[in-house]
Every structure is written in structure tokens, then in C-alpha cells.
């Protein structure tokens, strides 16, 4: 059985947290709408759970959506996974999935492409962090030197007390 002949049905759970609670529901609705517009994907069922106050938080909420999708093949499922980063994925059907070399190549190349993109972002962020740390140290070092200069100068400028004879 070839995946191009068999559609893949899966359940995604998308989690979100933040505030205000209305924003979470709106955001999840927007994500479901975007998934509906994805090529090769049909949304079969959706359940958006109401926002709940997070444990030990005064004004921070969490919510999640359960979205049942049907994709034309494993590649579209993989693209959905990387694009929306669900907290959980469960393939409902078919029980067995058979891929051709070409289909598996497509899935693995999409996986590799996304991982390289994330790695590039991580490298850029690491470089920017290093630059900012260096600028902060330099700035703090100048302030420390400046405050040392001030205290040294004030010591020099203080009138000396005359010794009693």
C-alpha cells in the first residue's frame, strides 16, 4: 500500500499559554483556520478547550486544541508537524504506512531542511548573544572605571587635614 493512495488521519494537540484568556482562544482558532488552508490537508474535527489558570500563577493561562486532520501523504503530515509544532501527534489511520524511496526522501529532506533552518537560527542567536555580552561587559567596565576615576579624583581633591602640633 502506497501512501499516495492512502490518506493519513492523525490527531494533533496544540498547546498555548499566555494572557489574557480570550487571546488564547482566538489564537487557537486562528491556528485551526491556517491548518485548514494548508495544501494537502483537511481538518476533520476540532475541539478547543477553554483557557485554564496555570498552577501557581496569578494571571497566566493555558489552553489546547485537539485537531483531527487528514493529509494526502506523509510529507504533508511532516510539514504540519514542523510548521505548527504540536505537543502531541497520534496517527489514527492507516494501521500500516508504506512509503516509496521517493516519498521517504521527500520526508527526510523536509526534516533536514527544517533542522538546518533551526540550527542557523540558533547560531545567529548565539553570535548575537556573545556580541551583546561583550558590549555589556565593555559598557559595565567603562562605568566601573569611571566610578573608580571619580573616587580617585575625589581623594586627590579632598583638602588634607592639618595635623595638630
pLDDT digits (tens, 9 = 90+) for 119-149: 999 999 999 999 999 999 888 876 665 555 5
Identify the H or E element spanning 71. Answer: strand 61-71
The CA-CA-CA angle for residues 88, 32, 66, to 5°, reads 35
| Residue 109 clears pLDDT 50, i.e. is over it | yes
CA distances from 64 to 29, 39, 44, 82, 152 (A): 10, 23, 17, 17, 60
Q: Structural domain boundaries of the chain?
A: 8-99, 100-154
Q: Can you tell me the mean pLDDT for 110-119? A: 91
| Residue 94 clears pLDDT 80, i.e. is over it | yes
pLDDT digits (tens, 9 = 90+) for 7-66: 999 999 999 999 998 999 999 999 999 999 999 999 999 999 999 998 888 889 999 999
Residues 6+ apart with CB under 8 A from 24: 16, 17, 18, 51, 61, 62, 63
Quick one: pLDDT band at residue 153, thresholds 50, 70, 90? low
d(CA 88, CA 15): 9
- pTM given for the model: 0.67
CATH architecture label of 8-99: 2-Layer Sandwich (3.30)
- pLDDT at residue 1, as a whole number: 42
Amino acid at each position: 500500500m502506497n501512501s499516495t493512495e492512502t490518506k493519513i488521519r492523525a490527531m494533533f494537540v496544540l498547546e498555548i499559554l499566555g494572557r489574557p484568556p480570550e487571546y488564547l482562544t482566538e489564537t487557537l482558532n486562528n491556528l485551526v483556520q491556517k491548518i485548514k488552508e494548508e495544501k494537502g490537508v483537511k481538518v476533520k474535527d476540532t475541539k478547543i478547550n477553554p483557557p485554564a489558570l496555570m498552577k501557581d500563577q496569578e494571571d497566566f493561562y493555558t489552553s489546547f486544541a485537539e485537531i483531527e486532520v487528514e493529509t494526502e501523504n506523509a510529507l504533508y503530515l511532516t510539514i504540519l508537524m514542523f510548521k505548527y509544532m504540536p505537543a502531541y501527534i497520534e496517527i489514527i489511520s492507516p494501521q500500516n504506512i508504506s512509503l516509496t524511496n521517493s516519498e521517504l526522501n521527500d520526508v527526510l529532506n523536509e526534516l533536514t531542511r527544517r533542522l538546518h533552518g533551526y540550527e542557523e537560527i540558533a547560531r545567529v542567536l548565539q553570535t548575537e548573544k556573545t556580541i551583546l555580552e561583550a558590549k555589556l561587559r565593555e559598557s559595565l567596565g567603562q562605568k566601573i572605571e569611571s566610578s573608580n576615576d571619580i573616587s580617585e579624583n575625589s581623594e586627590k581633591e579632598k583638602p588634607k587635614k592639618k595635623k595638630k602640633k
